[in-house]
């Protein structure tokens, strides 16, 4: 934005020191102008350059000829060797102040611009280096402008394409997140679901289509997360629950009774040890980890056996072996054989698993595995 503004400003600057040539439009003055741009917060002297510019018109006419009518002269003060012009442009206000030497062959000046993007000052010095053809220069200038515009348009198009590609990629990920109930794939949008922080607003504005789609998909994710199948597929992800503003405990409490009444066996086995226990006693006894499970209860039993120990609600923690870490090595082998978890009636290794463990223990006579 600033660059284009600066470009306009340089063009507007040209006529200020070439009023003598106005009577003969085809003959202009070739000036060599050195400029140095200063933008607050940026390194001083950035963008220093020297260029030759053919001048030959007055500022009002130049402004009038400005094709996009983006600038209008608001004020113009002129003395023998000083010209001050204030212009109002669509992008901001520009003030040009130039002082000439007596022969009007050299000048120094400043160009200050204020726009919604901030301020910018350009310091300039110029010296006349000869004559030039205004029309030819104008043609060249327009060609250059056209080339620049074309380049800028191409850049904008490439940028838009890249943004679209990124947006599409985010949308694809959000769709996949819901399909596979993979919370992480919602990416940045998971952190912004139902959030209105500045960061989230910025994210939403940067890729609006992705933000809109992902917000919708996240809502779907949350709805599905609170179903038995969705919860199982999301593996009861705590982070996902947090994003959705729910707790996994609440979902389990709501869904376990339904699962027990003919709902998802996978959910029942994985998250409802109490409700699942009767079914587990009936169908899972005798199945060990290496059994080739089959039948409609295979998933249920695998889930139940893998999760029951972890899903017991209100289960007291096993007494820690306090001080054990500091004690010398226990006598090997036997008397002080470390104990597993204390067995309580309601503990994880319920009768189903205890039966399995006992059976396995008898078979496990092999040493050293």
Partner 1 sequence: MGLRLVLVLAASLAAGAVQAAGHPADNPYPWIAAAYVVKRDGALLWAGEPDARLPPASLAKLMTALLALERGELEAPVTVGRSVLQATGTRIGLKPGEKLRAGDLLAATVVRSANDACRALAEHLGKTVAQFVVAMNARAGALGLANTRFADPCGHDRDGQYASAADLIVLAEQVMQHAEYMRLARLETISFKTQDGGRTFALRNTNALIGRYPGAIGLKTGYTDAAGTCLVALAERDGVRVLAVLLNAPNRWWNATGLLDRAFAAPR
Backbone angles phi, psi at 12, to 5 degrees: -65, -30
Least spacing, CB of residue 308 vs partner 1, in Å: 8
Binding partner 1 by CB under 8 A: which of 57, 91, 237, 275?
Answer: 237
Can you say whether the dihedral through the CA atoms of 41, 34, 86, 103 is positive or negative?
A: positive
Cβ–Cβ under 8 Å, residues 145 and 185 = no
Q: Using the structure block, give the residue that is written with the tokens 């990629």.
A: 169
User: Which residues inside 118-157 make contact with partner 1, applying CB under 8 A?
Assistant: none
Told to check if 214 binds partner 1 by CB under 8 A, we report: no
Binding partner 1 by CB under 8 A: which of 206, 313, 341, 351?
Answer: 341
Q: Which stretch binds partner 1 (CB under 8 A): 95-103, 173-181, 186-194, 236-244?
A: 236-244
User: Which residues inside 348-367 make contact with partner 1, applying CB under 8 A?
Assistant: 348-349, 353, 357, 364, 366-367
In the numeric block, which tokens belong to residue 165?
């590609």
Q: What distances in angstroms separate CA 41 from CA 46, 267, 350, one per listed residue?
A: 11, 58, 69
Residues in contact with partner 1, shown as a per-residue x/- string from 294 to 323 under the rule CB under 8 A = -----------xxx-xx----x-xx-xx--
Helix axes 134-180 and 2-13, enclosed angle (nearest 10):
170
Using only C-alpha atoms, the chain has a radius of gyration, in whole angstroms, of 39
Least spacing, CB of residue 6 vs partner 1, in Å: 47
Told to check if 179 binds partner 1 by CB under 8 A, we report: no
Cβ–Cβ under 8 Å, residues 100 and 107 = yes
Q: Which stretch binds partner 1 (CB under 8 A): 60-68, 69-77, 249-257, 327-335?
A: 327-335
Binding partner 1 by CB under 8 A: which of 67, 79, 324, 362?
Answer: 324
Among residues 41 and 342, whose Cβ is nearest to partner 1?
342
Rounded distance, CA 163 to CA 159, Å? 6
In the numeric block, which tokens belong to residue 282?
């009936």
> Mapped to the 3 state alphabet, what secondary structure does 197-236 carry?
CHHHHHHHHHCHHHHHHHHHHHHHHHHHHCCHHHHHHCCC
Residues in contact with partner 1, shown as a per-residue x/- string from 249 to 288 under the rule CB under 8 A = ---------------------------------------x
Q: Which of 21, 212, 209 is CA-nearest to residue 130? A: 21
Q: Using the structure block, give the residue that is written with the tokens 């504005």.
A: 205
Among residues 196 and 334, whose Cβ is nearest to partner 1?
334
Q: Which stretch binds partner 1 (CB under 8 A): 1-9, 187-195, 253-261, 340-348?
A: 340-348
Binding partner 1 by CB under 8 A: which of 69, 235, 247, 346?
Answer: 235
Told to check if 334 binds partner 1 by CB under 8 A, we report: yes
Rounded distance, CA 45 to CA 38, Å? 6
Binding partner 1 by CB under 8 A: which of 43, 333, 345, 363?
Answer: 333
Binding partner 1 by CB under 8 A: which of 67, 294, 332, 363?
Answer: 332
Identify the H or E element spanning 293: none
Told to check if 329 binds partner 1 by CB under 8 A, we report: yes
Backbone angles phi, psi at 50, to 5 degrees: -125, 130
DSSP 243-274: HHT--HHHHHHHHHHHHHTT--HHHHHHH-HH
Among residues 78 and 337, whose Cβ is nearest to partner 1?
337
Among residues 256 and 349, whose Cβ is nearest to partner 1?
349
Residues that bind partner 1 (CB under 8 A): 235-239, 242, 288-290, 305-307, 309-310, 315, 317-318, 320-321, 324-325, 327-334, 337-342, 347-349, 353, 357, 364, 366-369
């Amino acid at each position: 934005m600033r660059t284009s503004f600066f470009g306009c400003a340089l063009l507007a600057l040209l006529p200020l020191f070439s009023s003598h040539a106005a009577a003969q439009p085809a003959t202009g003055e070739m000036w060599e102008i050195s400029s140095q741009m200063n933008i607050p917060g940026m390194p001083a002297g950035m963008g220093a350059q020297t260029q030759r510019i053919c001048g030959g018109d007055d500022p009002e006419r130049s402004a009038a000829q400005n094709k996009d009518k983006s600038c209008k002269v608001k004020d113009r003060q002129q003395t023998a060797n000083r010209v001050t012009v204030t212009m109002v442009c669509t992008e901001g206000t520009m003030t040009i102040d130039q002082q000439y030497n007596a022969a009007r062959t050299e000048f120094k000046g400043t160009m200050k611009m204020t726009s919604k993007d901030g301020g910018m000052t350009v310091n300039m010095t110029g010296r006349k280096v000869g004559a030039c053809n205004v029309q030819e220069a104008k043609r060249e200038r327009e060609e250059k402008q056209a080339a620049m515009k074309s380049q800028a348009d191409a850049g904008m198009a490439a940028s838009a394409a890249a943004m679209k590609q990124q947006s599409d990629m985010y949308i694809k990920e959000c769709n996949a997140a819901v399909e596979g109930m993979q919370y992480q794939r919602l990416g940045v949008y998971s952190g912004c679901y139902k959030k209105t922080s500045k960061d989230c607003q910025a994210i939403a504005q940067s890729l609006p289509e992705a933000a809109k789609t992902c917000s919708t998909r996240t809502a779907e994710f949350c709805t599905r997360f609170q179903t038995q199948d969705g919860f199982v597929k999301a593996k009861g992800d705590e982070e996902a629950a947090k994003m959705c503003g729910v707790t996994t405990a609440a979902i389990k409490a709501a869904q376990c009774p339904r699962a027990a009444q003919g709902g998802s066996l996978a959910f029942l086995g994985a998250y409802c040890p109490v409700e699942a226990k009767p079914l587990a006693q009936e169908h899972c006894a005798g199945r060990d980890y290496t059994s080739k499970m089959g039948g409609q209860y295979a998933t249920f039993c695998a889930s139940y056996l893998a999760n029951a120990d972890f899903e017991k609600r209100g289960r007291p923690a096993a007494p820690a072996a306090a001080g054990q870490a500091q004690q010398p090595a226990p006598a090997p082998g036997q008397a002080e054989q470390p104990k597993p978890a204390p067995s309580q009636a309601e503990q994880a290794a319920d009768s189903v698993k205890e039966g399995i463990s006992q059976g396995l223990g008898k078979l496990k006579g092999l040493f050293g595995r």
